[in-house]
Amino acid sequence: MGQYEARGQLQALTLSELTALARADFATFVELAFPILHSNEPLVWAQYIELIAVVLQGCAKGRHRRLLINLPPGFLKSMLVSIFYVAWRLGGNPSAKFICISYGDDLAHYLSMRTRDLMMSALYRKIFPGTVLLKKAEDLITTTKGGYRYATAVGSDIMGFRADDIILDDPLQPDDAVSAVKKQAVIDWIQQSVLSRFKDPTKGVLIAVMQRLAPDDPSGLLEQQGAFSIKLPLIAETPEKYAARGKIIFRRETGDLLNPSRMTIKDVEELKRQIPPHVFISQYQQRPVSSGSGMCTISKLRRYKNAPPFELKIHSWDIAATPEGNYTVCTKWGAAKVADLGDVVFLTDVVRIRAEIPDVREAIIMHDKLDKPDLIVMDGIGVGLGLYQDLRQRGFLHIFSSRDVSNLSQAKKVERFGKALLYMYDGKVRFPETAPYIDSLFEEFSAFPSGKFDDQVDSVAQLAATMGNCLMFARQKHRPSNL
């Protein structure tokens, strides 16, 4: 083969030098062996692959006894962990013992067969001439030195097998994530059966690789138990940096994609149009919500690409009692007539702040000057009452308390959101197809009423549940001309 085209410092090495390096370095092994299982297509290297390779090699050296890797679907997580890592470890130590678990028999056996294909290849035998396969069944691969890879499914009887390393590869199916009973059954099986199958409980390594599905999925359990976690969303939500032995091996900034060569921003936007928001947030961003099992079905909401000219503008403020709790939120709306529907309101922006009441007042004044809305709606009870009265005294006659607009302000939040949903599903309340705030908003919709935050829900419901009265007040033009 002569020179082998590979990443960075590997490009100048001959195949003989690369095979020697692959015995010691897992990342090199992955890149060198990848074409064997992919029709001779080379691996498109990405920084996150280097990170996972370094962390897995740390497991081989005993640095991590509990490892959790959260990756989006389609980013080689099973290939890296369940196939390449197991093959590499058995190459270096043919007496090592693995139990590899997936959510179903078909997947478990497929991953086992791909591992077998890799270990039977000419390149693998060249890299690891001391590892010879004895048994090559679809569920059990054994070596002549007593090592093995046993493949099984979640819930199966694994008595009779003990392992140095146990791999959990997507142990929970997305459809099961909405069932508390099924989630708990998987977690109970892991705690009661899987963790008892280590050959040496003081040294056994558990590696879990999965996409997040729900806050109480198996990943949540492992996080609580202190597993070393690598959590990689498709789109970075904060700056990320991982270093090993004084060298930065992975870095990206907010907004950076995990691997633009595999999925571009255009691909991401198309994906987000095709799947429910709670699925994207959980499985692709690794930030699970309540599995979309709340009151709101996001797919039923009407979206808009280009809004018509607006007759009216409205601000809806939900005021937080303290800056340590919920956010104070303003949702901004434009109203227009739409054929066959009459009045329709279009969400145009969401503002979220954490501030003391005096600063909230200044924020309301600032956004009023910026947009000159025809109506400001706010909750005129509780903490909002004093703020409402103060602004009215300052001449803000176009501020109305939601209790002036409708008695729904006194209703429970769930009742008010339920009323709002009727308008939202009918298309009389519409949301933009794309906006910087839309994922966060729909995440909160999906989780309500059991989510961590409900401030955006309250702001939307305050307007949507009472839109008829709100538009009537807005048309009366109470806004003073001097403001």
The confidence band for 479, taking pLDDT boundaries of 50, 70 and 90, is: confident
Specify the pTM.
Answer: 0.65
284-336 pLDDT, tens digit per residue, is 999 886 544 457 877 788 999 999 999 999 999 999 877 777 789 999 999 99
Q: Where are the domains of the chain?
A: 8-235, 294-475
The separation between CA 62 and the C-alpha centre of its own chain, rounded to angstroms, equals 29
Q: Kindly report the CA angle at 139 between 135 and 141, in degrees rounded to 5?
A: 30
Q: In this predicted model, what pLDDT tens digit does every residue of 361-378 receive, in sequence order?
A: 999 999 999 999 999 998
Q: How confident is the model at residue 4 (pLDDT cuts 50, 70, 90)?
A: very low
Burial class (CB in 10 A: 0-12, 13-18, 19+), 395: exposed
Q: Which fold has domain 294-475?
A: Nucleotidyltransferase; domain 5 (3.30.420)
Q: How confident is the model at residue 447 (pLDDT cuts 50, 70, 90)?
A: confident
pLDDT 10s digits, 397-428: 899 886 655 554 444 778 888 889 999 999 99
For the record, the structure tokens of 440 come out as 């966060």
Per CATH, domain 8-235 is 1.20.5.510: no
187 in Cβ contact with 179 (< 8 Å): no
Q: What is the mean pLDDT of residues 446-460?
A: 83
The C-alpha atoms of residue 211 and residue 170 are separated, in whole angstroms, by: 7
Cβ pair 71, 219 in contact under 8 A: no
Cα–Cα nearest to 315, from 397, 372, 380: 372
Measured distance CA(245)–CA(440) in Å, rounded: 36
Residue 207, SS3 per DSSP:
strand
Q: pLDDT at residue 352 above 80? A: yes
For 8-29, letters b (16+ CB in 10 Å) and e give eebeebeeeebbebbeebbbbb
User: What would the pLDDT profile of 371-397 be if each residue is shown by its tens digit?
Assistant: 999 999 988 677 778 888 899 999 998
- The DSSP code for 235 is B
Q: What is the mean pLDDT of the chain?
A: 88
